[in-house]
Amino acid sequence: MPIEDDGRIRDLLSSAATIAVVGASPKPYRDSNSIADFLIRQGYEVYPVNPAYTETNGRTCYPNLASIPRPIDIVDVFRRPDAVDEIVDQAIAVHAKAVWLQLGATNEAAAARAERAGLAVVMERCISVEYRRLLA
C-alpha cells in the first residue's frame, strides 16, 4: 500500500540525499523542470533521466536509472502510467529505496510490484508540495 502517512513521507524526504527525476525536461514550463530545480535548491543531489536529452537544469541527463553513478534514494516519476512499469523495473534493478509517482503517473500494478520488492511507494502526490507542507 502506498505511503499516505505524513510522518512516513516526512521521514522519506528527510532521509533522502539522491533523487532521480524520470521524465526530466529542459523546458522551463514543464513541471519536471521546475520541480527538479526546486529539489536542487533544497540540497538534494538530483539526477535527471530522459534519453531524449543530454543536459537539463545544468546537470547531465541520463538515459536510464542504471546509468546513474550513485545509489538512488527516490525515483521521482513524471511519465504516463503506461511507462511506469518499465521505470519500476529499473528502480528495483538498481535497488532504489523509493518510487514517487507524481500526480497522473498512477499505476497500481507497478506500485504493488515495487512494494513487494521492498521499495517505499508514494502515489498521486507532488514531491515539492509535500516538501513545502511537511519540511518547510
How confident is the model at residue 58, as a pLDDT? Answer: 87
- List the domains of the chain with CATH numbers: 6-134 (3.40.50.720)
- Specify the amino acid at residue 34: S
Instruction: Report the alpha-carbon distance of residue 121 to residue 75 in Å, rounded.
Output: 10
47 touches 20 (CB < 8 A)? yes
Per-residue pLDDT of the chain (136 residues; tens, 9 = 90+): 789 899 999 999 999 999 999 999 999 999 999 999 999 999 999 999 999 999 998 899 999 999 999 999 999 999 999 999 999 999 999 999 999 999 999 999 999 999 999 999 999 999 999 999 999 8
* The residue to which cell 543531489 is assigned: 45
Alpha helices in 42-126, H assignment, sequence order: 81-93, 108-116
